Structure 1
């Protein structure tokens, strides 16, 4: 475009595109005779005062327009070349030859402009972050080569956050202490010039601060031991790396004890039922505010607590609000029988609802709302809460102990993860040998023992236990086989019948004889020798001595015979026996012993037999008197021969038993006076060595 300011100025109404129509304006400084040329050809125009206007239609080639006064040679003019503006380059691609080499770029220009077009190539390289310097809540970024950069974009985040844009360049504020941040920076030459560079990245940790939030602690226990628990501070609350916790206990006697517990341990046992506990967390920059808890027995309240299941892991809880609101509410919960897994949340005093989250489905919980009054602590317990229940996946393992005609059944808890929720009751099944089944329901899930007392004697049973939830009955546990003993009388009845039985059978003579054998076992194993007694020596000169000796031997012989194993040896029977008695004497030899004929007679003839034997002894050629008073009577020789046939006639034994006195029998015989034995020498075992 050529402009002259001598006598006039010239301009078009708009940019001239290829084939467009427009107007040419010539503005003169002074009034004159106007002439307008198009490529030196005069053009018609419209004139208004000092301005001449020409209409140009569909210009397609380069044209020169000139304006001049007729009486003045100096013109003003303009060259117009129609065309198109350049389009944005497409498919730009640049390749650098080496790290510091030249860059070759190619692109597509789009529609032909038909006019001279110049392209400018700009390279904005990504920033180089040299250093990041952080305090606890702000960081300063340092880069090199920031000249000619007019626009910078900075963003940052932690691993748990999304990207945040920096409000100011290079200095990022409002950060969180003790947090790892990622910083990214890019730039461009200007708002409308060039493209954004690639992102450059750097990471840095903000510094620590002392914890700003007190530790949330709570407790449970009994009258002797209290277990103190506290929650871990979040990263935001900790403001640094927690090194440990300081616990201070002041008991009723104002005795103070302090303990430092290293992280990550978060529990402590306090051996007091009424005391004050203080706890705070500590990091390298300081410690948190102190939490104080008054440990004391917690009373119970009978307020109403209701709940609504939100989903498998959440429950909405609401409770009754008293007229005098407590300073704070605390809601605690834990899986049944797992109080060490206690969790809790604190609720402000003006609220009476909260949500418990993080619960596990098909698991049973105990819940309580604790009212923290300034005068003391009270709680409302809500047991047996579950978000979703199923039938138990396992039956209880049981043991059974039979006692007479009853059985004591004991069973173990089902593992928590296989209960399917909160147990409501148990059922004991008892099946007898006829496949008849009895059921016994135990309505308290805390009961683990039951006694069944209506069993029949001499029966075989199978026994098992099942558990129930609100969803239904679970599978049976392992079966147990039990058996009851046969029917038995009571001890008193047995004793009575036994006594009655013995009283009855004692009236039979045969029973008397058999019972006498039992009495024989009570006799002393060594029988005293009457021949060596003092009394026998004093009476050696009398004839009655032999009568006494033979009578005593007779009694011993009969007793030994009845205790032998021969047939019919239990009863003394009539008959004759030849018994050789060897009486020791200095005038007698062992080769020719005296033989004494002994005849066994029935009991009724026994007295006459003794009298006969006494008479025969008195008339014998070898009487005791003729031998002198110094003779001694020796034992019956073991070489004596016992012979004779047994008579089958039964003998009445009511007045004679070869055994000591028994409670059921009268004495065997009555002997007056005292029998003093010096030595005991009689051995009756030889009397049994016969065939």
Structure 2
């Protein structure tokens, strides 16, 4: 009975211990629960039962090498702790008890706040807000609190320090100050669980850090060269700066007014602007001392238009199919020359000899116009905007052709082409140059040009499409209205072998085959075609090659032997030969003697039939009627004439 009672008591005690969560040990730190990072200290564990205890750290628990202080207590030396850690101890007690543990928090003392700086934002004539900012320093890894302290000085009176609690994690604080206060003292105090730190005290004369409210701008009112801007301020200032810049520019141009008592609302004129340009404006102000205000919001406005400033850059191309037509080209003027939105272009053809005076107006999107010309006529082009016409750009439709004496060289790169020339010393001095270029065969559709001065000796052409073949010319204009022209061709920035071969067709006549093909499309050429290669292969596999010029579209191969032939073509550029086109087959037939004999027999039979028919008098008579012109005239025979016979008879009678 006593034994049963002992077991019951032990079980009851164990259950009670489990219910109340009794610990097997007690754990503590020699430095407490909160320590500064980099600190060294000891962790202790005292066990409540006789057992072999152990100490662990972190999660999952890592066994630590502890030391024994006495029979119930162990300890562990923590050296230079750098982060938060959890330590625990446990042992095998009977009955089993919970292990014990302790969380160690780490951090730093707050640094003294640095770089304390304040500005005084004036709101009106009576008051304003002082805004102070500072740097906190290094992270403490703890929860910090910050307080901004302020003393105000008015005359001989200095106020008690006023405390302004800063919201968590903020590094700035503002507080109101009357404009009658001339001086303030400010400092910042930072605190956490390890201690506190205080910044240096900064003394401010408010007039030195005062900044006025941002000016408000009214919508600018602009003419072609000037804009009038209304500036509104809620306090009077002594300095005003207005800046402007064109939309395409990066830098601002300043217009400043200083040492003037500004009114709260005032108009200012900004001049020396360009016509038909979008300008952006902003402003800021300042008291006699202190800081500039923030820039105002940008406002934008267009200046008004003026008539275009310069003549258009024009050029022309003659229509090869009809020399009475001329296509005139012009470049779109930039905004500084156009000085407005171009409404239309006017093209006039005038000939004093014939009295021709034809005017054509085309839309603002047009860049060329075809006109009919006469001898000794002049073509003039104008651009028009809402304010008027540009100066005239003239093209004499016919020039006196001068002998070409230019040594033109072409240097092609991956991104541009340089056209250079050299004028012999014996040539007359040039007045100007024009270099034109266009894809092969596309002069009327894709003409480009650049106009150069008399001292220029080269032109760098950009924007040429890669894998495209270009040609063009250099024109030299002389003072006496004569012009010389030197052409160039086969120009490409990037090239590749052609992508396809020509599609060829054949026509066989006897032993001769005539080949025809069309040019490859521009997208398939890969650049400038240097030659075509024709491959001819007979039934025995023997192959012959023929080369054709890049301008050819017809090739004749004579004197072929009878048989079956295969034929195909390729095209080549400077980068290599392209793939073969479609292969075709044709037959050269053998000329047999039997066919010649049959033809001769047929001819003989036809001639015999005609001879037989001619013996018939009716047929003969009809033949004389229808083919009288083919018969020989009858020659008279005097000896057998009627007159001769009658004369002979009379002589006999006598």
* 3-state SS of paired residue (1:131): coil
- 1:365 counterpart residue number: 470
Q: Is the 8 A contact 2:475 2:485 kept in 1?
A: yes
Query: Is contact 2:405-2:423 (8 Å) kept?
Result: no
Distance 2:117 2:346 in 1: 66
Find 2:488's aligned residue among 378, 382, 393.
382
Partner SS for 2:523:
helix
User: Residues 104 and 413 (structure 1 numbering): CA distance in 2 closer, same or farther, change over 3 Å?
Assistant: same
| Aligned mates of 2:490, 2:203 — CA distance in 1 | 88
- Determine if contact 1:210/1:239 at 8 Å carries over to the other structure: yes
- Gaps of at least 5 residues in structure 1 are 1-86, 503-691
| 1:465 equivalenced with 2:565 (yes/no) | no
CA shift for structure 1 position 160: 2.1
**1:278: Cα distance to partner?**
1.5
Q: 8 Å contact 1:390–1:420 — kept in the other structure?
A: yes
> What is the distance in 1 between the residues matched to 2:355 and 2:334?
33
Deviation at 1:370, TM superposition (A): 1.0
Equivalent residue pairs, number: 411
Equivalent residue number for residue 308 of structure 1: 411
Structure 2 partner of 1:404: 510
Deviation at 1:182, TM superposition (A): 1.5
Secondary structure in structure 1 of the residue aligned to 2:460: strand
Distance 1:101 1:449, change over 3 A: farther
Change (3 A) 1:137 1:310: farther
| Cα distance, 1:262–1:118 mapped onto 2, change above 3 Å | closer
- Deviation (angstroms), 1:359: 1.9
| CA distance in structure 1 between the partners assigned to 2:531 and 2:560 by the alignment | 23
Partner of 2:212: helix, strand, or coil? coil
In the TM superposition, 1:93-108 aligns within 5 A as: 105=131, 107=133
Contact 1:426–1:441 under 8 Å retained in 2: yes
CA distance in 2 between counterparts of 1:326 and 1:205 reads 42
TM (normalized to structure 1)? 0.54
CA distance in 1, matches of 2:204, 2:328: 86
Distance (whole Å) between structure 2 residues aligned to residue 109 and residue 344 of structure 1: 62
Aligned to 2:345: 245
Matched, 1:194 2:278: no
Change in 2 beyond 3 A, CA 1:454/1:88:
same
Structure 1 residues 301 and 116, CA, compared in 2 at 3 Å: closer, same or farther? Answer: closer
TM-score (structure 2 length as normaliser): 0.57
| 1:154 maps onto 2:242 in alignment | yes
Pairing 1:265–2:366 present: yes
Q: Is the 8 A contact 2:122 2:212 kept in 1?
A: no
Cα distance in 2, alignment partners of residues 291 and 109 from structure 1: 67
CA distance in 1, matches of 2:538, 2:490: 35
Q: Paired residue for 1:235, among 335, 347, 351?
A: 335
Question: Which residue does the alignment assign to 1:391?
Answer: 497
Give 2:323's match in structure 1, choosing from 219, 223, 227.
223
| Residues 534-580 of structure 1: CA deviation (Å, up to 9, x unaligned) | xxxxxxxxxxxxxxxxxxxxxxxxxxxxxxxxxxxxxxxxxxxxxxx
Cα contact 1:214–1:291 (8 A) shared by 2: yes
What's the offset of the Cα at 1:204?
0.2
Cα distance change of structure 1 residues 352 and 116 upon mapping to structure 2, 3 Å threshold: closer
Q: Which structure has more strand as a fraction of its residues?
A: 2
**Conserved 8 A contact 2:216-2:296:** no
Q: State how far apart, in whole Å, the 2-side matches of 1:398 and 1:245 are.
A: 46
Residue number in structure 2 paired with 1:27: none
1:145 Cα shift? 1.3
Q: Is the 8 A contact 2:343 2:364 kept in 1?
A: yes
The 8 Å contact of residues 120 and 210 in structure 2, kept in 1 or not, is answered as no
- TM-superposed CA distance for 1:224, in Å, is 2.5
Q: Secondary structure of 1:337's match?
A: coil
Q: Distance in 1 between matches of 2:206 and 2:309?
A: 63
- 1:137/1:174 contact within 8 Å kept: yes
Which of the residues 333, 337, 355 maps onto 2:460? Answer: 355
1:333 counterpart (404, 417, 437): 437
Residues 408, 121 of structure 1: alpha-carbon distance in 2 compared, 3 angstrom cutoff: same
CA offsets, 1:481-518, max 9 Å, x none?
3233354459655424778999xxxxxxxxxxxxxxxx
How far is the alpha carbon of 1:437 from its aligned partner? 1.9
> In 2, distance between residues paired with 1:282 and 1:231?
14
5 Å-filtered alignment, 1:21-32, equals none
**1:298–1:379 contact (8 Å) kept in structure 2:** no
